[in-house]
Amino acid sequence: MARHELARFLRDRREGLRPQDIGLPADPHRRTPGLRREEVAELAHISVDYYTRLEQARGPRPSPRVLDGLAGALRLAPAERSHLFRLAGTSAPPGVRAVRRVRPHIAQMLRRLPDTGAIVTDAAYDVVAWNPLAQALLGEDLCRHSNLARRRFLARGHAYESSSAEEFGHIVVARLRRAADRYPRDTALTALLGELRTGSEEFRQIWDERPVHAPGHRTKTIDHPTAGTLKLNCDVLLVPEDDQEVVLITADPGSRSARTVRRLAGAAAS
């Protein structure tokens, strides 16, 4: 925990806020720049003494609940909130619910990858963005059946035969277990987990195994209905501030699969 840096950060952000930023009337006679410590403490639902000790670099490591309260009280932007958690020596939980929007620069990146299939999945394995090649590789009904957990365990939507189906099942469950811990009040996620438990014995069995998986590189072979057998690479880039993953689907350069993927990309673009 970087106590002195944390103290300086809290003090700078407090002094940078105006009373009217939090709904208080402007007071021309204020001698304190920005907000008072007691105002921040009240907004964060902590004691004034505790907050004062944090600003004086004398406090204990604050809990995630306290940090979340301070982030709200100080009106921190997402990047500032993550920085606050890092200064306190912990990782910022993404929020109350899985983020289902896609940042514009991420969406633009998908369009700049002509020979790469690319999708963005949220913490509940909804595909929240994709490019035309990804749809050609994963199924034309991707826009209607966009949750990969439902596709994998409940056969919702058309899923092509894949060599990695068993491995992917464990990957899905591991991520959904993390999501359930992070977003216990996300009603859409709770409903999804209920569907999967009710509809899939395989899902229940894997869930009870408590699999652990870190995103990374994997390969798979799919039987595409028009392109035949394709050997593909899947690489994952993290969007940590939104708890999302960008999955890049490629083929080895110079391979038959790469030539086929290029033809599919051209057809999808046209």
Q: What does 46-110 look like in DSSP terms, one character per residue?
A: S-HHHHHHHHTT-SPPPPHHHHHHHHHHTT--HHHHHHHHHHTTSPPP--SS------HHHHHHH
Domain co-membership, 252 together with 131: yes
How many CA atoms are closer than 13 Å to the CA of 75, on its beta-carbon side?
A: 15
Identify the domain containing residue 181 by its residue range: 104-269
Q: Yes or no: say if 155 and 148 are a contact pair by the CB < 8 Å rule.
A: no
- What CATH code is carried by the domain that includes residue 242? 3.30.450.180
* Boundary-marking domain end, from 35, 55, 87: 87
Lowest-confidence pick of 86-100, 161-175, 253-267: 86-100
Which of 263, 254, 264, 124 is closest to 195 using CA atoms?
124
Radius of gyration over every alpha carbon of the chain, rounded to an integer in angstroms = 23
Q: Mark whether 133 and 234 lie in a shared domain.
A: yes
Q: pLDDT by residue (tens digit) across 52-69?
A: 999 999 988 898 889 988
Q: What are phi and psi of 237, to 5 degrees?
A: -110, 135
Position 95 in a domain = no
Same domain for 75 and 136 = no
Within a domain: residue 99?
no
pLDDT in tens, 204-258: 999 999 998 888 889 999 999 889 999 999 999 998 878 899 999 999 999 999 9
Structural domain contains residue 94: no
Tell me which of 40, 57, 87 is where a domain ends. 87
Cα–Cα distance measured from residue 11 to residue 77, given in angstroms and rounded to the nearest whole number: 16
> Do 123 and 256 fall into the same domain?
yes
- Specify if 59 maps to a domain: yes
Check whether residue 137 and residue 187 sit in a common domain: yes
Residue 130 sits in the same domain as residue 182: yes
Q: How many domains does the chain have?
A: 2
pTM value? 0.69
Q: Sorting pLDDT into bands at 50, 70 and 90, what band is 158?
A: low
Residues 165 and 217 in one domain: yes
Q: Which of 126, 119, 130, 204 minimizes the C-alpha distance to 169? A: 204
